[in-house]
């Protein structure tokens, strides 16, 4: 992937992260909730205690943007601000992760993502 493409993708993710902040600002929660909850989706890494396949499945579920959007929509549909908050946090977190190069995981290794390998390459 070229640097131009990487930058374009990061810009797109930054836009989605800013959208998450804008959506959050429409809720009646104190601002400290956003940063306090932003890393909670990473608890899904606990799935890796049960192997790479289970870990990837659980991790990808909590980092998939369609899940985040569905939770937001269901929250708005049922006028449930907690669900909306959860969906916004999932969307913001996934966007933040992708800006930093952490993508959805393949079954073989935590370091193998749809954005490429995480960390130093081993020779």
Lowest mean pLDDT among 6-10, 38-42, 65-69: 6-10
Query: What whole-number percentage of the chain has pLDDT above 70?
Result: 96
Residue 69 lies in a domain: yes
Give the number of domains in the chain.
Answer: 1
Alpha helix positions (H), 1-123:
3-25, 33-37, 52-63, 65-77, 81-99
Residue 123 lies in a domain: no
Residue 10 lies in a domain: yes
pLDDT at 14 over 80: yes
Residue 8 lies in a domain: yes
pLDDT at 113: 83
Structural tokens at position 3: 């640097």
What is the spatial distance between Cα 97 and Cα 14, in angstroms, rounded to a whole number? 10
Mean pLDDT over 26-49 rounds to 97
Cβ contact 20:71 at 8 Å: no
The reply to whether the predicted model has a pTM over 0.85 is: yes
Query: What whole-number percentage of the chain has pLDDT above 90?
Result: 80
Which structural domain range is residue 92 located in? 3-115
Residue 62 lies in a domain: yes
Residue 87 lies in a domain: yes
């Amino acid at each position: 992937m070229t640097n131009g493409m990487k930058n374009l993708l990061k810009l797109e993710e930054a836009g989605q992260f800013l959208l998450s902040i804008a959506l959050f600002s429409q809720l009646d929660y104190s601002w400290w909730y956003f940063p306090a909850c932003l890393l909670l989706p990473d608890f899904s890494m606990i799935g890796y205690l049960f192997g790479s396949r289970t870990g990837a499945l659980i991790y990808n579920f909590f980092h998939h943007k369609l899940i985040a959007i569905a939770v937001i929509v269901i929250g708005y549909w049922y006028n449930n601000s907690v669900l909306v908050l959860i969906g916004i946090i999932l969307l913001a977190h996934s966007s933040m992760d992708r800006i930093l190069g952490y993508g959805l995981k393949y079954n073989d290794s935590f370091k193998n993502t749809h954005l490429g390998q995480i960390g130093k390459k081993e020779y």
